[in-house]
Amino acid sequence: MASKEQASKTTDNTEEKAPSMLPLFYTSPAPLDKVKHVNLGLNANFSLDFAKGINAVPVNLIELPQICHYYPVAFSPDENATPVAILGLRDKENLFVNEKGEWAAGTYIPAYIRRYPFIFSELPNTEQLTLCVDMNDKVVSEDSTQKFFNEDGTATDLATNALEFCKSYHAAAQQTIEFSKALAESGLLVDRQAEIEVKGGKRISFSGFRILDEKKFTSLSDEEFLKWRQKGWLPFLYAHLFSGGQWQRLTRLLGERESA
């Protein structure tokens, strides 16, 4: 997504990346080791400040019914057609995070953001997934009281809960890839550009995303429509269409920030 300048990368279709292609937010993910990291933990002042500079983030299929009440949902312009929540109208600006690193109260936080700094990585030459954490000094340290391991090497509740969350996230991501692939191949997506006007008559052009073409969707043959229904995907397509009303929310939030 872009607003005059190139916007943040938003695709995260594989959990394992080459060093130059790390997923959004991650700088140095490494497998958690009960020997090497027995004294390591999450910093007490860890906040959502890391998400302040992004204007879109990947979302999973099962989140769309919640996401659509707070953010516009679009699809990446590449062949992956990754669903993303639009968080801001300008490059490197998230309208839902304040200067203290706090997310807007009463607003659903996308799972991709709640997962950080943990992530799954596939071990070389196997299908086994291992829990990793971003070894970033701003995120983890040995002085933390929120440890990943107990003194006997067993996982703390923090690490156990992170593992379970990543399991759920990974399963949902696989379902999303199947949905996105089908949508990308369907011909139902169309490129769009949003023209936003804020206080003072200032106009912002937001581009680089795709949405569902309603006319093409409603013109589907009964056979094609039935295929989407049998997959259980219709509610998610409708959630995407419903989310279009949230562009007004972004305009209002940007106006409030400009005034402040």
- What would the pLDDT profile of 194-227 be if each residue is shown by its tens digit? 887 777 677 888 888 999 999 999 999 999 999 9
Q: What is the mean pLDDT of residues 91-97?
A: 95
Residue-wise pLDDT for 2-52, tens only, equals 444 333 333 344 344 434 478 999 999 999 999 999 999 999 888 999 999
Which segments within the chain are labelled E, that is strand?
Answer: 2-3, 5-6, 29-31, 41-42, 56-58, 73-75, 83-86, 118-122, 129-134, 140-141, 146-147, 189-197, 203-212
Residue-wise pLDDT for 223-260, tens only, equals 999 999 999 999 999 999 999 999 999 999 998 888 87
Residue-wise pLDDT for 131-157, tens only, equals 999 999 999 999 899 999 999 999 999
∠ CA 18-77-27, rounded to 5°: 25
